[in-house]
Structure 1
Amino acid sequence: MATPQPRRWIPYPPLISVCASLWWLSAAAASVHEFPTDGTVIELDDASFERAISAFDLILVDFYAPWCGHCKRLAPELDKAAQVLAQLNDPITIAKINADKYTKHAAKYEIDGYPTMKLFMHGVPMEYTGPRNAELLVRFLKKFVAPDISFLESDSAVQNFIDMAGANFPVFIGFGLNESVILELAHEYKKKAWFSVAKDFSEEIMVAYDFDKVPALVSLHPKYNEQSVFYGPFEGEFLEDFIRQNQLPLTVPINSETLKLVKDDERKIVLTIVEDELDENSLKLVRILRSAATANRDLIFGYVGVKQWGEFVDAFDISKRSKLPKLLVWDGKEEYHIVVGSEYLDDNDQGSQISRFLEEYREGKTIKREMDGPSLIGFINSLISIRTVYLIVFIVAVLMVIQNFSQTEENPQFRGIQDGAEGTDASTSHIESCRDYQPVNKED
């Protein structure tokens, strides 16, 4: 009779694999459930910051300071927006961190003013420059969870898409266009524009959006009530040039929101400076500039009013005595060109004057100038925090005090004359005043 062999214990691989998977899933879930997902704005610190941006695919972080008035006004808007964004199919979380107290991550992400908001997509940061009103902020952030291309099957779908897109981004609709043609560019420009392809539409839509054949790519700027049509060729640099040039409207009002977009563009800026960009004559001039912009898409046409942004305008040697409107061509950095004899506009046939200015600019009949140094104060104010300003003032004050003491020590003859004139009573008075001195509270 054979002797029975003892049974050997053999681990069951599928069971081990399942257990390991469950362990990893529970660990990942724990990292998410560490933070509320009910639409509450999450308060972060240096310890929880990295865990938060790793736990959420999309999280908007507000770097704030408790003493900042703008931060206090922004807080309730973020509270309202967070409730809506948490309900999206692809939710977006909002968090905040006191960057004045927790300086580690403020330094890491180069936070130099408050409030500063950054959107982290899978842990990768990008600066948020959109609106701060709750409703508009929600619309702006929806862009980041939308598909690269939306497909529209009817006239109503086209209108609903435009309404949903809102006014903060340009909208591109390919009518009768194969989505593969624009798929790569739609992905590349996703953060800057909406893209869609309309497969089924009526003649009424063609009339409404001013195209008479297909395929056609229509660009819309709802905020500026502008649109352009591109009939091809739908390839290479031709298609990308159309999309890139239509990121901005034909005429751009230069302000703190549009300045970064303009400077990021590679084109030169034909800048028109007026007294007040909202008065009737300026609005008429903007319409004329729009016509010039249509024929000169290699240039950006911008306008700015002295009344609206005087600090910016001062950089171009504009004073109260300057004749306006004035035309110049700015490189978006520190240089600009003027066309002598054609830089000022009068009220007679401004279209011809603008055409002459552009013609002479292209012929090189210009004078190059540097932006004025003192006017850069306006830019500095927008780039650094008030604490930095206080620090600079404090350092300058300390240096002045040190210099004064040094001068006193280096002139003993002057000090001796002064001591002789004051006499013994003055010395006694000085000693008594020193005894009476008491240091005050540093916080005061």
Structure 2
Amino acid sequence: QGAVSAQGRRASYREMRGAPLQFVLCSFVATFLPLQASSENAVLVLDEKNFVSAVRAHPLLLVKFHAPWCGHCKQLAPEYEKAATALQGRVQLAKVDATTEVALAEQYKIEGYPTLYFFKNGQPEEYGGGRSNASIVSWVEEHSGPALVELSTEAALASKLPERQTLPYFVAKGGKPLKDVFAKLADERRTTGSFFFVDGQDADVVQVHRGFNEVIELHGPETTDPEKVLHFLEREMIPPFGEINEDNFAGYLARATEGMLWVCFNPESFREDARKHKGVFQQIAASFKQFPVVYTDTKVYDEHVKEELGCTDFPTVVLQIGNFTDEEAETDPKRYKLLLPATEITEDAISAWIQSVLAGQVPEDDGLDELDEEDEEGEEEEEALLCAEA
């Protein structure tokens, strides 16, 4: 995960992602500069002069790098302020105008907006949560505590698992050697999911809980080999066909080196429809491994579905072709749409359509969304000002 260019941001960031959403300047004077929040909210306004003192003064600090012209930043602003109020007294939220604080933006390699970092005792961690008030609060609270949650019983584990639906759960059961391996992995990979350890089991086992209540297991001596456990977690954490949202968008994005296949079901029944047709799309995923195959909440992400994917009728399959992870890409991924029949959704029909797309036999569905146009206008205005100043 990492910040992306303006071009990559159009296809990548949307309302699903709180910009991945990735520190420290040394200044003797800055230590003594006052830190003040805006009178209208609980968000600190930081600049090059008070950035260091903010990191030192607040053991838990979330910093948003933004641009005034950025449409996605404007959408995030009220949610960010609500989260700051909800977390007041526990975690401090702050913001930096990356267009004026150029040195800070360069130091933290800010290339896409908004980009957020979480500082825990001065150490930066990439923010990997969503853009809603609830998502920000949930992510920050989770990452403020220990990375590995230790439990004593299976019942205690069962009570934890229903709390989240889309990010994977990583579970280890066994003795101290496995616990030590898992604790280290949890510290290093905590942004990818939730880590649990259940003590006192007869045999070591590592589990990945994902997707449609799937549980994938690793047994035997490999469970105490850190590299093999990590490989297992990374390989199995993304289901072949799964729900995508603001919490796990970054994980899917990292795999979308050639594109992504979206399935947009009826907003009123999208989860039931996804479960009903999961076999078809799991087979599609197996046949076209270059494309992550996903579905989403078409009501919650109505704007993304309509503007980014171009879906107004359901069910529809959207294939985006292009490297989502390429920061130097000068063009957006290409988009192709297939309106599906309401009843019979078959692997053969969808596979044949994808093959036709790849063969260049299907016309591209083109168009920019409003936020992209707003961002482009802002970038043009900023460039014009820079030229005028020069």
| 1:42 partnered with 2:44 | yes
Picking from 336, 345, 362, the partner of 1:350 is 345
Distance 2:98 2:321 in 1: 36
Q: Any idea what SS the aligned residue of 1:52 has?
A: helix
* Alignment-mate amino acid for residue 120 of structure 1: F
Picking from 60, 63, 68, the partner of 1:61 is 63
Asked if the contact 1:155/1:200 (under 8 Å) is kept, the reply is: no
| 1:271 partnered with 2:261 | yes
Over 3 Å counting, the alpha-carbon distance change for 1:390 and 1:280 in structure 2 is: same
Q: Deviations over 1:252-291 (max 9, x none)?
A: 45567654432212676661444x5425488525542356
Q: Deviations over 1:125-169 (max 9, x none)?
A: 555342344454232113333334332112453245447x75574
Distance 1:291 1:215 in 2: 34
Over 3 Å counting, the alpha-carbon distance change for 1:69 and 1:137 in structure 2 is: closer
Picking from 240, 246, 250, the partner of 2:230 is 240
Distance 2:44 2:128 in 1: 21
Asked if the contact 2:131/2:246 (under 8 Å) is kept, the reply is: no
After superposition, where does 1:122-133 map in structure 2 within 5 Å?
123=122, 125-133=124-132
Q: Deviations over 1:159-194 (max 9, x none)?
A: 45447x755742211233632453453333222222
Q: Any idea what SS the aligned residue of 1:47 has?
A: coil
After superposition, where does 1:168-183 map in structure 2 within 5 Å?
169-176=167-174, 178-183=178-183
Q: Which segment is superposed worse, 165-174 or 385-394?
A: 385-394
- Compute the displacement of 1:195 (Å): 1.3
After superposition, where does 1:96-175 map in structure 2 within 5 Å?
96-99=95-98, 102-106=101-105, 108-109=107-108, 116-121=115-120, 123=122, 125-159=124-158, 161-162=160-161, 166=164, 169-175=167-173
Aligned residues: 335
Distance 2:102 2:94 in 1: 16
- For structure 1, the 5+ residue unaligned runs are 1-27, 87-91, 202-212, 399-444
Distance 1:48 1:229 in 2: 48
Q: Any idea what SS the aligned residue of 1:130 has?
A: coil
Q: TM-score, normalised by structure 1?
A: 0.55
Picking from 251, 258, 277, the partner of 1:261 is 251
Asked if the contact 1:170/1:193 (under 8 Å) is kept, the reply is: yes
Asked if the contact 2:64/2:94 (under 8 Å) is kept, the reply is: yes
RMSD across aligned positions (CA): 5.2
* Alignment-mate amino acid for residue 187 of structure 1: D
Over 3 Å counting, the alpha-carbon distance change for 1:72 and 1:179 in structure 2 is: closer
- Compute the displacement of 1:241 (Å): 4.4
Distance 2:385 2:133 in 1: 38
* Alignment-mate amino acid for residue 199 of structure 2: K
* Richer in helix (by share): 1
Which residue number in structure 2 is paired with residue 24 of structure 1?
none
Which residue number in structure 2 is paired with residue 300 of structure 1?
292
Asked if the contact 1:336/1:370 (under 8 Å) is kept, the reply is: no
Distance 2:181 2:155 in 1: 24
Asked if the contact 1:271/1:301 (under 8 Å) is kept, the reply is: yes
Asked if the contact 2:33/2:49 (under 8 Å) is kept, the reply is: no
Over 3 Å counting, the alpha-carbon distance change for 1:269 and 1:217 in structure 2 is: farther
* Alignment-mate amino acid for residue 229 of structure 1: I
Q: Any idea what SS the aligned residue of 1:357 has?
A: helix
Over 3 Å counting, the alpha-carbon distance change for 1:185 and 1:69 in structure 2 is: closer
Over 3 Å counting, the alpha-carbon distance change for 1:220 and 1:387 in structure 2 is: same
Q: Deviations over 1:87-126 (max 9, x none)?
A: xxxxx43223455655543455465776543323565655
Which residue number in structure 2 is paired with residue 405 of structure 1?
none
Which residue number in structure 1 is paired with residue 215 of structure 2?
228
Distance 1:332 1:271 in 2: 13
Distance 1:162 1:254 in 2: 18
Which residue number in structure 2 is paired with residue 95 of structure 1?
94
Picking from 387, 392, 396, the partner of 2:378 is 387
Distance 1:78 1:323 in 2: 34
Asked if the contact 1:325/1:344 (under 8 Å) is kept, the reply is: yes
Over 3 Å counting, the alpha-carbon distance change for 1:214 and 1:179 in structure 2 is: same
Q: TM-score, normalised by structure 2?
A: 0.61
Distance 1:70 1:366 in 2: 35
| 1:187 partnered with 2:187 | yes
Asked if the contact 2:212/2:275 (under 8 Å) is kept, the reply is: no
Which residue number in structure 1 is paired with residue 88 of structure 2?
83
Asked if the contact 1:59/1:93 (under 8 Å) is kept, the reply is: yes
Distance 1:65 1:239 in 2: 40
Distance 1:43 1:329 in 2: 38
Q: Deviations over 1:60-101 (max 9, x none)?
A: 1134578975465235413323325x2xxxxx4322345565
Of the two structures, which has the highest relative contact order with CA contacts closer than 8 Å and spacing of 6 or more?
2
After superposition, where does 1:8-19 map in structure 2 within 5 Å?
none
Distance 1:115 1:249 in 2: 28
- Compute the displacement of 1:196 (Å): 1.6
* Alignment-mate amino acid for residue 84 of structure 2: D
Q: Any idea what SS the aligned residue of 1:147 has?
A: coil
| 1:311 partnered with 2:307 | yes
